[in-house]
């Protein structure tokens, strides 16, 4: 190369490359990309690590389908039902969008249950990951709130009475229960104020809160680093060290594709079908909440939870105490042992709780079919 000649090697030539170079100089895209993709994965890439990525993917798809539905949905008691029917019957592929959004909410509940179970069984809530666990519990609460608030929006009998049941359960909370119930209903019975408040919570407050907490969750995760599998010494896990790209990225993509195809299949096989428009009279309809609250609904039918105090005990005291226990768990369980097979109390407790949830959910479904 002659002296004074401009260097051309590795210089951006296309418009796209120039734009990337411009942004990279000011933001540090390449540095961020290297940091994200070159994250070490203790013990190597695993299918067990896909839950977080799948949850993020489901949320993004829920946001996209939710925005598309809002172009046609009218959040008023006079038009909510009609606009939902319009989406199903008149909008091109509207039935699929609504059904995908409906099944996507269920998929998000299933995935967050699976993710939290994995963290618990692997002992990944222990030092130095206590804050990750606490933020994860808050995210779990937001996911359940998404399902609860979104269920009312179609404004049919199923949505109306599921909300009535849910609000009545909240009403039993000491001190704040009455306020929460009156605030959500906005009157003596669910009506326009109820629908408006649920809509605002569902499409504005909860998404903002979830994005903020998800960002904090990711930051804390990057700070503490992956916990890795519960088996193997730190030296063994380090010897099997892998990087996020390309193997783990490939597994995440395959898992997200499987989740997407599963939700699409459910949307095609079981599309959303509305019942009659919501009225204060249930008629022949037997009120019940969405499936992921059925175990609690069935639990409250037991004789030991009869009466005002029994309902409070089953609906508020026991679930509240359990959530407080989960929040305190990282500070109670200070043992460095993470192997689940060497933690029999944790394993038996998890199995008992999961079995109870499954049994009560199936009992509620069988009871529904009997009544029908």
**pLDDT single digits (tens) 134-169:** 999 999 999 999 999 998 999 999 899 888 888 888
pLDDT for 309: 81
Buried b (16+ CB within 10 A) or exposed e, 356-365: ebeebbeebe
Among 2-6, 171-175, 185-189, 303-307, whose mean pLDDT is lowest? Answer: 2-6
pLDDT for 46: 80
pLDDT for 69: 97
In a domain, 12, yes or no: no
Count of CB atoms situated within 10 Å of the CB of 204: 10
Q: Is the dihedral of CA 40, 41, 47, 48 positive or negative?
A: negative
* Tokens (6 digits) for 26: 């000011």
Q: Which residue range is the domain that position 214 belongs to?
A: 42-278
pLDDT for 61: 96
DSSP 168: H
* Tokens (6 digits) for 160: 């109306």
In a domain, 337, yes or no: no
- Average pLDDT value for residue range 23-40: 72
In a domain, 341, yes or no: no
pLDDT exceeds 70 at position 125:
yes
In a domain, 4, yes or no: no
* Tokens (6 digits) for 272: 């959303």
**Please, are residues 147 and 187 in contact by the beta-carbon 8 Å criterion?**
no
Q: How many domains does the chain have?
A: 1
pLDDT exceeds 70 at position 64:
yes
Count of CB atoms situated within 10 Å of the CB of 249: 15
In a domain, 198, yes or no: yes
Half-sphere exposure of 245 (CA within 13 A, CB side): 6
**Which band of pLDDT confidence, cut at 50, 70 and 90, is reported for residue 365?**
confident
pLDDT exceeds 90 at position 173:
no
pLDDT exceeds 70 at position 232:
no
pLDDT exceeds 80 at position 73:
yes
In a domain, 226, yes or no: yes
More confident residue, 107 or 236: 107
- Average pLDDT value for residue range 348-366: 92
What element of type H or E holds 293? none
**Which band of pLDDT confidence, cut at 50, 70 and 90, is reported for residue 103?**
very high
Q: Domain holding 216: CATH number?
A: 1.20.810.10
pLDDT for 9: 54
pLDDT for 23: 81
Enter the pTM of the model: 0.87
Q: Kindly report the backbone phi and psi dihedral angles of residue 278, in degrees, each rounded to the nearest multiple of 5, phi listed first.
A: -60, 135
pLDDT for 339: 86
Query: Mean of the per-residue pLDDT values for the chain?
Result: 86
Q: Among 71-85, 237-251, 336-350, which range has the highest average pLDDT?
A: 71-85
- Rounded CA-CA distance 75/78 in Å is 9
3-state class percentages of the chain: helix first, strand second, coil last, to nearest 5: 70, 0, 30
In a domain, 34, yes or no: no
**Which band of pLDDT confidence, cut at 50, 70 and 90, is reported for residue 35?**
low
Give the whole-number percent of the chain exceeding pLDDT 70. Answer: 90
DSSP 243: E
Q: Which residues contact 51 (CB under 8 A, 6 or more apart)?
A: 111, 114, 115, 118
pLDDT for 1: 47
- Rounded CA-CA distance 368/371 in Å is 5
Q: Is the dihedral of CA 193, 197, 202, 203 positive or negative?
A: positive
Q: Using alpha carbons, select from 75, 80, 273, 62 the residue that is nearest to residue 158.
A: 273
Q: Rounded to whole angstroms, what are the CA distances from 14 to 8, 10, 163, 358? A: 13, 12, 56, 57
In a domain, 272, yes or no: yes
- Rounded CA-CA distance 219/33 in Å is 15
Report CA dihedral (293, 359, 124, 250) to the nearest 10 degrees. -80
């Amino acid at each position: 190369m002659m002296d004074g000649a401009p260097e051309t090697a590795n210089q951006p030539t296309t418009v796209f490359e120039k734009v990337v170079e411009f942004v990279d100089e000011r933001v540090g895209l390449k540095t961020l990309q290297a940091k994200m993709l070159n994250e070490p994965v203790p013990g190597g890439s695993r299918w067990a690590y896909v839950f977080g990525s799948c949850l993020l993917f489901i949320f993004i798809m829920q946001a996209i389908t939710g925005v598309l539905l809002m172009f046609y949905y009218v959040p008023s008691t006079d038009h909510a039902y009609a606009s939902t029917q319009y989406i199903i019957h008149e909008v091109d592929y509207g039935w699929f969008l609504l059904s995908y959004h409906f099944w996507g909410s269920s998929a998000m509940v299933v995935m967050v249950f699976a993710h939290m179970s994995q963290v618990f069984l692997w002992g990944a809530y222990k030092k130095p990951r206590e804050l990750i666990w606490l933020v994860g519990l808050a995210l779990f609460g937001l996911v359940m709130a998404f399902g609860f608030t979104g269920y009312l929006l179609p404004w049919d009998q199923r949505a109306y009475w599921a909300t009535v049941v849910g609000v009545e359960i909240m009403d039993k909370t000491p001190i704040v229960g009455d306020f929460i119930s009156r605030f959500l209903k906005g009157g003596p019975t669910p009506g326009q104020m109820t629908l408006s408040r649920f809509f605002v919570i569902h499409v504005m407050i909860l998404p903002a809160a979830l994005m903020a907490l998800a960002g904090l969750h990711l930051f804390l995760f990057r700070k503490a680093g992956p916990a890795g599998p519960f088996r193997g010494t730190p030296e063994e896990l380090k010897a099997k060290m892998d990087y996020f790209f390309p193997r783990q990225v490939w597994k995440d993509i395959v898992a997200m594709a499987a989740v997407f195809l599963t939700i699409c299949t459910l949307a095609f096989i079981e599309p959303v079908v509305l019942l009659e428009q919501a009225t204060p009279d249930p008629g022949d309809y037997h009120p019940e909440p969405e499936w992921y609250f059925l175990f609690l609904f069935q639990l409250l039918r037991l004789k030991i939870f009869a009466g005002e105090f029994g309902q409070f005990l089953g609906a508020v005291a026991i679930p509240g105490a359990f959530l407080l226990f989960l929040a305190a768990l990282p500070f109670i369980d200070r043992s460095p042992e993470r192997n689940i097979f060497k933690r029999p109390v944790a394993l038996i407790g998890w199995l008992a709780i999961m079995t109870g949830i499954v049994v009560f959910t199936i009992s509620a479904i069988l009871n529904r079919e009997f009544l029908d």
